[in-house]
Amino acid sequence: MEPIVTISNGAIRGHTENGVTRFLGVPYAAAPVGAKRFQLPEPAPAWPGVREATAWGATCAQSPYPAPIHALIGSDGIPGDDYLNANVWTPDPTATGLPVLVWIHGGAFVRGSNARAIYDGTAFARDGVVMVSINYRLGISGFAALDGAPLNRGLHDQIFALRWVRENIAAFGGDPGNVTVFGESAGGMSVAALIAAPQTTGLFRRAIMQSGNGSVAANAEDARTVAAALAAELGITPTATDFGALGPDQLRAAQNAIALAVMTDPDPQRWGTSVIERGLGIMSLFPVIDDDIVPGLPTDVLAAHPDRAVPLIAGTTADEFRFFTVPTGIAAAVTAETLPFVLARYGIDAAVAQTYSAQRPDATPAEIFNAILTDWCFRSGTVEFAEANAAAAPTHVYEFAWPTDLPGLGACHVLEVPFVFDVLAGAHSITGPTPPQSLATEIHTAWVRFATDGDPGWAAFDSATKKARIFDAPRSSTVADPRAAELDALRRATTRA
């Protein structure tokens, strides 16, 4: 007989296989449809009898990734209204006091879901951790700045989900007092925002920020400029009432059109400086400063409120930006002649390329461009957030350096995820056919150790030595302040809005 547990909304039936029990598609909040699409999350209604929790739940409406990115990681799209759901993997629902990991997926705040094979929590449960993965509102539904709607609805969903975990995780064998929140890309940026938010005290003990940035939040005025453009695209006013009357297909079409407009015409005079610079050149809908859960840029808020710091792992991959430029052909268009112009698009002084070229004498202009944008979009904002956190709590920094077997991608964005989850067999579309299992074992074990007792197994980061763990195969190492000259030159060459 399959296991049944009782949570706040009723009883659910999961499925056990090879000693791990999973419960899929469990609603943690009411379906955000109709008038609720643009309001704060509410509790899911109770259900009679036993609800089956053996199939993936719905995902927030979204467009597929462009074909080159889809080929690497696939796309998401399970229809249904109850997409504010969670998946739970546990080694034993009758246990007590197990450590808990809560995963927040990436996707630039407009794509992604918790129903991906590379987010399968089986290996974490196998190793004694209860793992939860959550969905949240994306794109217009989650982050458009509309009149008559609270800002940052997607982040409110994440906080609501963490409260659901605190209330219900004991039913799955987990310890509500030993929760670690972790996420990648937009999920990593969300983790930074959650650490800095005043409303999350007591919801998690530790955090892991993968490929994130602590300086991602638009000014409200600029976010409303984007919302006005979305409304104009649809022929409506930028209000929750008008947007709420539309269906998912209309919202997707407008969202895609404006995202393309922002990327092809990144004019701060048109969109607002904070959208262009803090959106990292690839996002148009993302968290907004609201004097509530996002009172400022997370790094700045944390520096001003060190009491909000928690034990933290924070890191990036070595070649993040190749994920966005190599498969799409953008990198191939970067030459010595065009490099200064493409850097200027991001507000980066082209002189910084001299430092990167000196450190990488054999690199092509495209490789220099990707190295600079990797640091500008991810590494710089991660190190700055780690510095703020390390002033008050144990902090560990890493870089994932193993390059995929796929040509030109290097250690690109997303690549570390299947290693963290120890699911290499199902990730060859991005890892290539021969990923090193020893590296997956190493990094996965470090995450389990950190979730259990806060010690991932390498030296802590501090402002003096800035030690970082370089995950690589055949051997990882811990080094002090990797590529400091490049990061220092980049900071001098840029000014964030």
Q: Which residues are catalytic?
A: 185, 320, 413
Tokens describing residue 435: 């990923």
Contact residues for 75 (Cβ-Cβ < 8 A; gap 6+):
62, 64, 65, 111
Closest Cα to residue 400, out of 313, 281, 331? 313
Q: Which structure tokens are listed for 346? A: 């991001």
Dig out the tokens for 116 from the structure. Answer: 């991906």
Strands (E), 420-497: 467-471, 477-480
Q: Are 349 and 339 in contact (CB under 8 A)?
A: no
- Enumerate the H helices of 169-297 as residue ranges: 186-196, 220-234, 240-244, 248-264, 268-271, 273-278
Q: Which of 267, 186, 284 is nearest to 226 (CA)?
A: 284
Q: Calculate the alpha carbon distances from 428 to 423, 425, 431, 483 in Å.
A: 10, 7, 5, 30
Distance from C-alpha of 129 to C-alpha of 61, rounded to nearest angstrom:
30
Give the span between the Cα atoms of 442 and 468, in whole angstroms.
15
How far is the C-alpha of 25 from the C-alpha of 85, rounded, in Å? 5
Radius of gyration of the chain (CA): 21
Identify residue 120 by its one-letter amino acid code.
D
Contact predicate 198/308, CB 8 Å:
yes
What is the C-alpha to C-alpha distance for residues 216 and 284, in angstroms, rounded to an integer? 11
- Residues contacting 15, CB < 8 A, separation 6+: 2, 21, 22, 54
Instruction: Find tokens 């109709």 and name the residue.
Output: 34
